[in-house]
Structure 1
Amino acid sequence: MSALPDPALSRAVLIGVSSYLQLESLPPVANNLPALAAVLTSSDSWDLPASHCAVVAEPQTAPAMLDAVQQAAESAEDTLLVYFAGHGLLDGRGELFFGLPGAVAGRSHTGVTYQALREILMDSSAHRLVIVLDCCLSGRALGTMSSGEVLADQAGIEGSYLLAAAPDNGLALAPPGAVHTAFTGELLRILRHGAPGSARDVDLDLVYRELRSSLAAQGLPQPQRRIRNTAGRLVLARNHAYQPASRAPADPAGSAWPDPGQCHTTRAFLDALAEVRAVSGLTITALSQCTQPPVAPSTISALLNRTTLPGTWKSTGSYLAGCGLTDEQIEEWKTVWQRLHAAEPPPSPASQAVAPSSAARGWRARLNRTRRRT
Structure 2
Amino acid sequence: MSVLPDPGASRAVLIGTSRYDHLEQLPAVSNNLTALAAILSGPLSLRLPAPHVAVVENPPDPGTVLDPLRHAAAEATDTLIVYYAGHGLIDAHDALALALPHTRPGRVETSLSYDWLRQILLDSRAQRHIVLLDCCYSGLALGRMNAAQGLADQAAVEGTFLLAASAETRTALAPIGDTHTAFTGALLDTLRHGIPGGPPLLDLETVYRHLRLTLEARAHPVPQARNRNSGARVALTRNHAALKTAPVTATADPQPEHRLWPDPSTIRTVTGYFANLAAVREVSGLTQQEVSRRSAGRVSTGTISRLINRDTLPATWNSTAAYLAACGVPADQIEQWHGAWQKLRDESAGVPAGGTVEPGKAPRRFSALWRGRGQ
Q: Fold conserved (TM > 0.5)?
A: yes
- For 2:240, the aligned partner's letter is H
Contact between 1:28 and 1:179, CA under 8 Å: does it hold in 2? Answer: yes
Runs of 4+ in 1 over 3 A off after TM superposition: 137-141, 169-172, 255-275, 296-302, 305-308, 333-349
Equivalent residue, structure 2, for 1:63: 63
1:98-109 matches, within 5 Å, as 98-109=98-109
Question: How far apart, CA to CA, are the structure 1 residues paired with 2:126 and 2:84?
Answer: 19
Equivalent residue, structure 1, for 2:6: 6
- For 1:151, the aligned partner's letter is E
Equivalent residue, structure 2, for 1:15: 15
Contact between 1:264 and 1:340, CA under 8 Å: does it hold in 2? Answer: no
Deviations 1:122-174 (A, max 9, x none): 1111111010000025984422455xxx422xxxxxxx21000117x787511
Contact between 1:198 and 1:262, CA under 8 Å: does it hold in 2? Answer: no
Shift of 1:259: 7.2
Give the secondary structure class of the aligned counterpart of 2:241.
Answer: coil
Question: How far apart, CA to CA, are the structure 1 residues paired with 2:80 and 2:29?
Answer: 21
Equivalent residue, structure 2, for 1:115: 115
- Alignment size in residue pairs: 301
Deviations 1:160-214 (A, max 9, x none): 21000117x7875111111110011111111111111252232222221221111
Question: How far apart, CA to CA, are the structure 2 residues paired with 1:335 and 1:220?
Answer: 47
The match for 1:346 among 330, 343, 346 is: 343
Question: How far apart, CA to CA, are the structure 2 residues paired with 1:259 and 1:225?
Answer: 33
1:245-324 matches, within 5 Å, as 257=255, 260=258, 262-263=260-261, 265=263
C-alpha spacing 1:145/1:89, structure 2 compared with 1 (3 Å): closer
1:141-220 matches, within 5 Å, as 141-144=151-154, 150-152=157-159, 160-166=160-166, 173-220=173-220
Shift of 1:71: 1.2
Question: How far apart, CA to CA, are the structure 1 residues paired with 2:233 and 2:280?
Answer: 16
| Larger RCO, structure (CA 8 Å, separation 6 or more) | 2
Deviations 1:272-309 (A, max 9, x none): 5678xxxxxxx96xxxxxxxxxxx9678999xx7979x
Give the secondary structure class of the aligned counterpart of 2:178.
Answer: coil
Equivalent residue, structure 1, for 2:233: 233
C-alpha spacing 1:272/1:184, structure 2 compared with 1 (3 Å): closer
C-alpha spacing 1:240/1:98, structure 2 compared with 1 (3 Å): same
- For 2:25, the aligned partner's letter is S
Equivalent residue, structure 1, for 2:83: 83
- For 1:96, the aligned partner's letter is L
Give the secondary structure class of the aligned counterpart of 2:220.
Answer: coil
Equivalent residue, structure 1, for 2:45: 45
Shift of 1:43: 2.2
Give the secondary structure class of the aligned counterpart of 1:4.
Answer: coil
C-alpha spacing 1:92/1:272, structure 2 compared with 1 (3 Å): closer
Question: How far apart, CA to CA, are the structure 1 residues paired with 2:27 and 2:16?
Answer: 10
C-alpha spacing 1:274/1:179, structure 2 compared with 1 (3 Å): closer
Give the secondary structure class of the aligned counterpart of 1:221.
Answer: coil
C-alpha spacing 1:347/1:271, structure 2 compared with 1 (3 Å): farther
Shift of 1:347: 4.7
Contact between 1:92 and 1:106, CA under 8 Å: does it hold in 2? Answer: no
Contact between 2:201 and 2:237, CA under 8 Å: does it hold in 1? Answer: yes
Shift of 1:114: 1.2
